[in-house]
């Protein structure tokens, strides 16, 4: 979680995004409004070492990350981590306008009303995200995030064991806010801060849904579904390993089309069945948002994450929701410096956002 006492990072830093399935690392730096990415890597998360934001086997994680840092001769010592977890609590609290000290006092009281946990066991961060009106009365919207101390302590220990200097522990939705706060264009479109957008991070076993109104965070939901079900269904149906199932999944025709090959059509149907489950969960959140006010409508959907690379996924979602949908592809303020292999921004959105310190 970002802390205000952290100073801006100088020189290149490592940004590490550990997930249940993959670890994503970038080496780079923030230079004015641009993010300079020097290197980017992905590797599989060791089995039984990490689950839902919790480090289960610290030594196993350390070994695979340290081995990679040594192999690539990485010199950066500052590290920022980013994560997502169902154990992280997010609450939006409305407060009347007041001076900072008064707001802090009111917030302390409200925290105990809104968070039914022992706050002594959590690291709590607060962030003012805007203003609103309730029955004609002005309110300050404050986003409160509480992360279990055990998670924070384990990440600090991991950084120390990697001989790195821990500078921040961030959460995905905050990284996304910062990523969208870059001043340039995404997919050659610049007016994103005037629209209501939904960002869908399609992960291995979860989907991060974040809704932004005119460039400001409105709310986020972590849906406990993902692309893992597709891989398992294909592997079980064709007696394949999970890696072979993933390869087969990435070779299919667009999922909005019918293929000439019978076997491919079977795979496409499996993919569609899972994507339809995603749509049901996403649609519930959409209906919740649009029902809150007569003027609420979603104007665009942006996809990112490894699961978003399904052939034809953006078109399939666009056809269902009748909302322009695209994969995050080009970001003008993300500059790659000497990366030899193809760098897919959509895979590293959270890691890029974590490097931005503000």
pLDDT in tens, the chain (358 residues): 443 333 344 578 999 999 999 999 999 998 878 899 998 999 999 999 999 999 999 999 999 999 999 998 888 999 999 998 989 988 888 888 888 788 888 888 888 787 777 888 999 888 887 788 788 888 888 888 899 999 999 999 999 999 999 999 999 988 988 888 887 788 887 656 668 999 999 999 899 999 988 877 788 888 989 999 999 999 999 999 988 999 999 899 999 998 888 999 999 999 999 999 999 999 999 999 999 888 899 999 999 999 999 999 999 999 999 999 999 988 889 988 766 566 789 999 999 999 987 6
The number of beta carbons lying within 10 Å of the beta carbon of residue 40 is: 22
Longest alpha-carbon distance in the chain: 67
| Domains (range + CATH), the chain | 13-86+149-189+330-355 (3.30.420.40), 89-147 (3.30.1490.300), 228-326 (3.30.420.40)
Burial class (CB within 10 angstroms; exposed 0-12, middle 13-18, buried 19+) of 86? exposed
Model pLDDT, residue 4: 33
Model pLDDT, residue 62: 96
Distance CA 173, CA 15 (A): 15
Question: Rounded to two decimals, what is the model's pTM?
Answer: 0.88
Q: Which two three-digit tokens encode residue 358?
A: 């503000």
H or E element: which one contains 275?
helix 262-292
């Amino acid at each position: 979680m970002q802390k205000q006492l952290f100073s801006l990072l100088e020189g290149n830093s490592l940004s590490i995004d550990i997930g249940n399935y993959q670890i994503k690392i970038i080496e780079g730096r923030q230079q004015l409004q641009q993010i300079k990415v020097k290197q980017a890597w992905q590797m599989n998360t060791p089995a039984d070492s990490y689950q839902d934001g919790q480090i289960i086997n610290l030594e196993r994680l350390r070994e695979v990350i340290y081995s990679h840092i040594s192999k690539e001769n990485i010199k950066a010592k500052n590290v920022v981590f980013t994560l997502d977890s169902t154990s992280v609590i997010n609450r939006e609290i409305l407060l009347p306008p007041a001076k900072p000290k008064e707001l802090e006092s009111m917030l302390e009281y409200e925290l105990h009303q809104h968070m039914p946990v022992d706050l002594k066991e959590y690291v709590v961060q607060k962030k003012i995200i805007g203003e609103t009106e309730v029955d004609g009365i002005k309110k300050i919207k404050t986003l409160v995030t509480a992360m279990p101390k055990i998670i924070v302590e384990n990440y600090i220990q991991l950084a120390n064991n990697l001989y790195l200097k821990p500078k921040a522990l961030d959460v995905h939705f905050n990284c996304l806010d910062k990523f969208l706060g870059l001043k340039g264009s995404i997919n050659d479109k610049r007016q994103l801060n005037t629209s209501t957008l939904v960002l869908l991070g399609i992960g291995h076993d979860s989907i991060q849904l974040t809704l932004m109104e005119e460039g400001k965070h409105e709310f986020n939901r972590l849906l406990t579904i993902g692309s893992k079900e597709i891989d398992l269904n294909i592997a079980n149906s064709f007696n394949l390993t999970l890696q072979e199932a993933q390869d087969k999944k990435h070779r299919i025709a667009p999922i909005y089309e019918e293929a000439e090959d019978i076997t491919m059509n079977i795979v496409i149907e499996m993919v569609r069945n899972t994507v339809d489950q995603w749509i049901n969960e996403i649609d519930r959140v959409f209906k919740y948002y649009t029902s809150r006010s007569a003027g609420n409508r979603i104007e665009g959907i942006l996809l990112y994450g490894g699961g978003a690379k399904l052939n034809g996924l953006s078109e399939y979602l666009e056809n269902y929701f009748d909302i322009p949908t695209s994969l995050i592809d080009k970001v003008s303020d993300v500059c790659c410096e000497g990366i030899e292999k193809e760098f897919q921004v959509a895979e590293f959105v959270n890691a890029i956002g974590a490097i931005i310190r503000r």
